[in-house]
Amino acid sequence: MDKKRILEEGLLELYLTGELSEDLTAIVEKALGEDKELKAHFDVLEADFERMGIEQAITPPNLVKTQLKNALEQPGIRKINWLPLSIAATVALLFGLSSFWLYGKWQDAESSLSTLQSQTSQLRRQVDKLESEFRLTSNHFKSINNPDVIPLVLYGNQKASNGKAVAYVNHKSQQVLVNPKGLPALPKDKTYQMWSDVDGEMINMGTLPTDSELVTLKYIEDAESLNITIEPAGGNDHPTVEELVSYVIL
């Protein structure tokens, strides 16, 4: 089985997730042992899957523990505050001045309840954010694990030494995802931008912020190559050719 068929049928992704039969597993392992370029693609794909899982795992802050503890203990707090309230109400019949103490306790209870409600709302927002990030990560994983996806590694030149980006191209669904994490960080007034070369014309696909795990870019039909340049922040309407840092032929 040749490398092209292995890539087009998504056998590397299925091998990585343990979904291949024994026969196909043996074929893929043999190909990986014989083809250095195929092995490099697999290593990059494997590293991306591991890094995405690690980086997307979010440890809840200590504040969450405190909020949950307060939420569990609050019924007890309110129950405890009713006893002084009852006693104070009885004593107030005999000693009018004690009403000031009762009023202070009531104010404290109101303040505590307001704080708890605010913390509960904050906790709910954090949970919603975690759920949203999980869904996004799950959707990205499904996209790059699709059998129709072709992974392409763009290695940096002297302008981006030791840098690399990985593009996941799905011609069938006309979707392009790029992991730019391997590219060197740029100054705030600069950004990476990707272009498709179609018959000698460079067409803008979008910018590549290096603080994003996966970036969705515009799919360009009949592209002959993918190219990354360094442009002013916000992107450019035409590529700065002398700032080309990487490209790959499709």
pLDDT (tens digit per residue) in 44-60: 888 887 776 666 555 55
> What does pTM read for this prediction?
0.48
Question: Is the model more confident about 161 or about 184?
Answer: 184
Report, as an integer, the average pLDDT of 21-42: 89
Beta strands at 201-208 and 190-198: parallel, antiparallel or unpaired:
antiparallel
Higher-confidence position of 97 and 190: 190
d(CA 185, CA 59): 25
Least confident range of 73-87, 173-187, 210-224? 73-87
* Confidence band for 195, pLDDT divided at 50, 70 and 90: very high
| Phi, psi for residue 97 in degrees, rounded to 5 | -65, -25
Give the contacts of 199 (CB within 8 A, at least 6 positions apart): 222, 224
Residue 7, H or E segment: helix 3-8
| DSSP secondary structure letter of residue 59 | P
Amino acid at 69: K
Radius of gyration of the chain (CA): 29
**What pLDDT does 7 receive?**
83
Answer for the pair 229, 247: CB distance below 8 angstroms, yes or no.
no
Give bridge partners of residue 194 from the DSSP assignment. Answer: 206, 228
| Confidence label for 146 from pLDDT (cuts 50, 70 and 90) | confident
Query: CB of 233 within 8 A of CB of 188?
Result: yes
